[in-house]
Structure 1
Amino acid sequence: MIYVIIAGITVLFLTMMILFVSSKPAFHLADKLFPKSFFLSTAVILASSIFIRKARKAFARENPVALSRNLYIAALLALAFSGSQYFGWTQLWNSGIYLKGTPSGAFLYVISGLHLAHLSGGLLFLALAIIKAVRAKKDAVKGIVYFTDPLEKVRVEMLEKYWHYLDGLWIVLFLYFLWFFV
């Protein structure tokens, strides 16, 4: 199921990237400053991926303390990513790239905003995983049931795959945007 979702998201973003390229002649991004906060966004989202991986390993070791801690850190980093995206949009605006106006400028907002929307969806599943991990930490019986449930294992693995996919997607988008600014 997760691979169908990933395939759909990939098609969406490939389409948006093609549309961005087709609109590029209308706007010269090389004259503008690339948002510095997008560099920070990239570092933050990569760090979140590390903690999602640690969380999956903690689940495999049946360690509710490490699981909940790593999920919390990943969620905080995802929120930091969201904030740095907002600052990136502010920097785009201050550089004279507006949502209204040329299609190229609008695509920068739309594509990064779509990525943020998909990350927000991932945050909902991350929040659910945090709730379950905290319950498993507080009650030993719930912990045994949680860690031995094959469906929960699949959910944690799917969360990790989706999260890594979104991280990889952001890196591709980041490099893609950076290419047009230089």
Structure 2
Amino acid sequence: MVKFKENPTLLQRIENLHPYETMLYLGMLGSGLIFLFMASAFLFSSRALLAGMNQNVPIAFLISTFLLVISGFSATSIRLAYQEENTNKLLGSLRTTVILGMIFTILQVVGWYELKAKGIEFTGIPSGSFLYVLSGIHIFHLSGAMIFGLILYFQLAKSRKDEVQKLIIHTNPFEKMRVRLFTFYWHFMDGIWLILFLLFVLSF
């Protein structure tokens, strides 16, 4: 009698996850709920007052959004380089992604000064305050990804000159998982910001 292999249930799949994966997915779920709550509060705040100020979205927010989109492509190339076992390309893509993330963070702060110059204060109208809060929370979450990216970069760079370590890096399932989780989380933060930026644009 032929026995068909049963597909694992959702609970079984969760149980089979590595603890790092579990923590990341739970963290992303928590972060998503935080952003959903804050974005909903922003939508129901006094956005009419913000629109009535006849101002535009800060130029720094526009530039930073463009750079973050580019960083999404460089994050994708990290996984491709890992699959190709191209350490130099992997390190280059990882370095580019983190640097773009740092520039994005700096431009976000510049955007806060632009908001202040436009008369939109942190302690002013509620919708204006949410612009700072949502941007700040996103920076906080993205900073975690950048710190992990830097750790990953220096560990990979250290093993580049050792052929044995280099082979281990590219064949170790744990390392593959770390690269995958980093790129997945980076794309998640990209998507969160694009949604927030769209809300900002529609509110001015």
TM superposition score category, shorter chain reference: over 0.9
Q: Any runs of at least 4 consecutive aligned residues in structure 1 with deviations exceeding 4 A, and if so which?
A: none
Q: Is the 1:52–1:71 Cα contact (8 Å) retained in structure 2?
A: yes
Aligned-pair identity in percent equals 35
SS of the counterpart of 2:46?
helix
Q: Is the 2:50–2:128 Cα contact (8 Å) retained in structure 1?
A: no
Structure 1 gaps of 5+ residues are none
SS of the counterpart of 1:27?
helix
How far apart are 1:102 and its partner, in Å? Answer: 2.0
* Structure-2 separation of matches of 1:26 and 1:33: 14
Compare the two structures and name the one with the higher helix fraction.
Answer: 1
| Alignment equivalent of 2:174, drawn from 151, 163, 167 | 151
Residue 135 in structure 1 maps to residue 158 in structure 2: yes
5 Å-filtered alignment, 1:26-175, equals 27-30=49-52, 31-175=54-198
Residue 13 in structure 1 maps to residue 35 in structure 2: yes
SS of the counterpart of 2:199?
helix
Q: Is the 1:136–1:144 Cα contact (8 Å) retained in structure 2?
A: no
* Structure-1 separation of matches of 2:98 and 2:79: 14
Q: What's the counterpart of residue 15 of structure 2?
A: none
Q: Point out the structure with max Rg over C-alpha.
A: 2
C-alpha RMSD of matched pairs (Å) = 1.3
TM-score, with normalisation over the residues of structure 2?
0.85
Q: What's the CA shift string for 1:139-166, capped at 9, x where partnerless?
A: 2111111111101101100101100010
Aligned length: 181
Structure 2 gaps of 5+ residues are 1-21
How far apart are 1:92 and its partner, in Å? Answer: 0.5
Matched to 1:40, the amino acid is I
How far apart are 1:22 and its partner, in Å? Answer: 2.1
TM-score, with normalisation over the residues of structure 1?
0.94
